[in-house]
């Protein structure tokens, strides 16, 4: 939306939190899972995202503990010798998150356009 001669944009972030208010799934885990799909390796995915392997591993573990299911399957061989691929559960969660995010974002953009119209330049 054009406000004060510049484009002001609304960004919507969806995060899941566990019973202790600990973040367990959000944009970071989703991006990491997509990169693992691409690279078929947790190590390569982390490196590509400029993330420490230990951090990537921790992010995955936190989500696994929250959901109570494995997100990664180990694979033998692969580009980096011994890789990883998403479990069926991980694929379903990722798909559900992306769908939810897309729908919520589209809705939010509409509400933003109408709710903030009073700030809009000509």
Q: What residues make contact with its own copies under the rule CB under 8 A?
A: 3-19, 24, 66-69, 92-93, 96-97, 99-100, 103-104, 107-108, 111-112, 115-116, 118-119
Minimum gap (Å) between residue 27 Cβ and its own copies: 10
Residue keyed to tokens 């990169």: 35
Closer to its own copies by Cβ: residue 53 or 116: 116
Closer to its own copies by Cβ: residue 17 or 38: 17
Minimum gap (Å) between residue 31 Cβ and its own copies: 16
Q: What whole-number distance in Å separates Cα of residue 56 and Cα of residue 36?
A: 10
Q: What whole-number distance in Å separates Cα of residue 54 and Cα of residue 74?
A: 16
Closer to its own copies by Cβ: residue 49 or 108: 108
Minimum gap (Å) between residue 29 Cβ and its own copies: 13
Closer to its own copies by Cβ: residue 16 or 47: 16
The residue among 25, 22, 42 whose CA lies nearest residue 93 is: 25
Q: What whole-number distance in Å separates Cα of residue 37 and Cα of residue 8?
A: 33
Minimum gap (Å) between residue 92 Cβ and its own copies: 6
Q: What Rg, from alpha-carbon coordinates, does the chain have?
A: 18
What is the number of other CB atoms lying within 10 angstroms of the CB of residue 71? 23
């Amino acid at each position: 939306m054009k406000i004060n001669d510049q484009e002001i944009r609304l960004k919507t972030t969806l995060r899941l939190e566990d019973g202790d208010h600990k973040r367990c799934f959000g944009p970071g885990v989703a991006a990491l899972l997509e990169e693992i799909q691409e690279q078929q390796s947790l190590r390569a995915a982390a490196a590509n995202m400029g993330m420490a392997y230990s951090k990537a591993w921790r992010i995955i573990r936190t989500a696994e503990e929250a959901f109570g299911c494995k997100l990664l399957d180990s694979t033998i061989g692969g580009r980096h010798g011994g890789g990883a691929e998403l479990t069926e559960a991980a694929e379903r969660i990722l798909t559900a998150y992306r769908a939810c995010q897309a729908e919520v974002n589209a809705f939010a953009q509409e509400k933003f356009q109408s709710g903030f119209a009073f700030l809009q330049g000509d």
